[in-house]
Amino acid sequence: MSRRGGRLRFRWAVSAVIIAVAGSLTIGWYVWSQRQLATRMSEYEQGLLRETALLFADRAKDRQLGRSALTEEDRAWLQKECTLNGLNVRLLEGGDERRELFASAAPSILRETREEPVPLIYDGELAGYLEVSYAQGHNQSLSWQRLQRSLHIRWTQLAVLLAIIVALGLWAGRRLAAGIERLGSSAEQLRLGEPPVAMPPSAIAELAQLSGAIDRLQLELDGQETIRVQLLQDLTHELRTPITSLLMELEAMMDGVYEATPERLAEIYEELERLTRLVRQMEQLFEAEGARYALQIDQHDMLQLMKTVHRNFGPIAAEKGVRLALALPLVPCAAEVDADRVIQIVSNLLSNAVKFTPAGAKVELSLDCGADFVDIGVADEGIGIAEAEQGRIFERFYRAERFKPARIEGMGVGLAIVKALVEAHDGAIAVDSRRGEGARFRVRLPVRYKAGAPAKPSS
């Protein structure tokens, strides 16, 4: 019940936020437009009042008002004109004191005059002043009446618009909240290790993008879980058999079945060394898969790095009778890499190449430099890799046919380490090989390291 109430409160909160934002924008626009309209109408009314005052003054001059004392007929005419036109009029004498000669209303109800007094001049002499203003409570002009009607219409339109906004806000808020709740439920199921409910397609681009990200995350987690299970199975298989064999041999020696001769102890020691190498390579693999978070990126001379690896592997290749060649460009070549990791990548590839190349054949280490990428190549003249196996040789513990003869040592971890380190540099690795024709590995690394922008495999 509380979860249901929480979902309802969340939906209402989202709807309220949408309504508040839309309503605030609408009201703000309306207030601004009304102020602009009122300012323009005020300017228009001021100009209209000025014209009215001038016209009234002309008509007053026609009756010679202000040249002499006002008669009752003059006062009646003034009062009639004020009533018909909705005006307040004051007639002042032309002296410094500006004594009032006529007022259409009592001073207490006269509106403040919004226009300067109009002088009444006869034959070049100032006879008086005429003050004109609109009467209080009177609709000053036809334009002002139209403005009032326009305001009422606009208020009605605003009310209708706000009602539509409220309805749309409620609909959009509930729809948005429902989509977010479904995504939250899927994420919670993902956290608990349960398969999330399939999300229906959403018309909201952001929700569709988030839903797609959750689906991709689920696929990635499923893949990682498969790899983890496979890793545990392979590791258990790799360790269980030799450990069981060692235990049986040691028990036989302890029971006196076998004599603890130096030869048997040496065999046990070699097997323990193999298990130690396996554990060490597993540590390297885990370290390589987490290398993205621990790379020491700096700009390095790639020519010098290749020369260093070539020099280190020279004695190893010579001992086996393999010719180790180095092909470098004649121009400077630098890239933003982790030097130790690059040396580890090339060393693993050279180690495999020398291992599977017969005496008298050649292994070549090459480097090509481009504007955006550097390509490191390791080619051998060994037994090659079957095309059907080339897609799996980078998997953990996978050993291709060329690995399986007993005379060839290997645990199927080296190329997995290489692939993890290359991808940590946002690079790519590819292999081209045919059975009996050797193999060529090509590593492509970006010149400028930028996490999240993987390179395309080189052909």
**pLDDT tens figures, 379-389:** 999 888 888 78
Question: Residue 171 in 3-state DSSP?
Answer: helix
CATH number at residue 349: 3.30.565.10
**Domain-embedded: residue 280:** no
What is the C-alpha separation between 116 and 53, in angstroms, rounded?
A: 9
In a domain, 346, yes or no: yes
Q: Confirm whether 137 is domain-assigned.
A: no
- Name the pTM for this structure: 0.48
- Stretch (H or E) spanning 76: helix 72-85
Q: Position 424: which residue type?
A: A
Of 34-38, 163-167, 194-198, the range with the lowest mean pLDDT is 194-198
pLDDT at 198 over 90: no
pLDDT cut 90: percent of the chain above it: 18
* Closest to 115 in 3D by CA, of 129, 94, 127, 101: 129
pLDDT of 336 over the 90 cut = yes
Which residues span the domain enclosing 376? Answer: 295-446
Query: Could you tell me the pLDDT band of residue 2, with boundaries at 50, 70 and 90?
Result: very low
Structure tokens at 287: 């370290």
Q: Identify whether the C-beta of residue 426 lies closer than 8 Å to the C-beta of residue 341.
A: no
Is 251 part of any domain? no
Taking the C-alpha atoms of residue 210 and residue 217, their distance in angstroms, rounded to an integer, is 10
**pLDDT higher than 90, residue 170:** no
What pLDDT score does 386 carry? Answer: 83
Task: Kindly tell me if the per-residue pLDDT of 293 is higher than 70.
Answer: no
Residue 403, C-beta contacts closer than 8 angstroms, at least 6 positions apart: 410, 412
Q: Is residue 242 part of a domain?
A: no
Phi-psi region of 185 (alpha: psi -120 to 50; beta: other; left: phi over 0): alpha
Per-residue confidence (pLDDT) for residue 121, from 0 to 100:
83
The total number of structural domains in the chain stands at 1
Report whether pLDDT(330) > 70: yes
Mean pLDDT, the chain, integer:
76
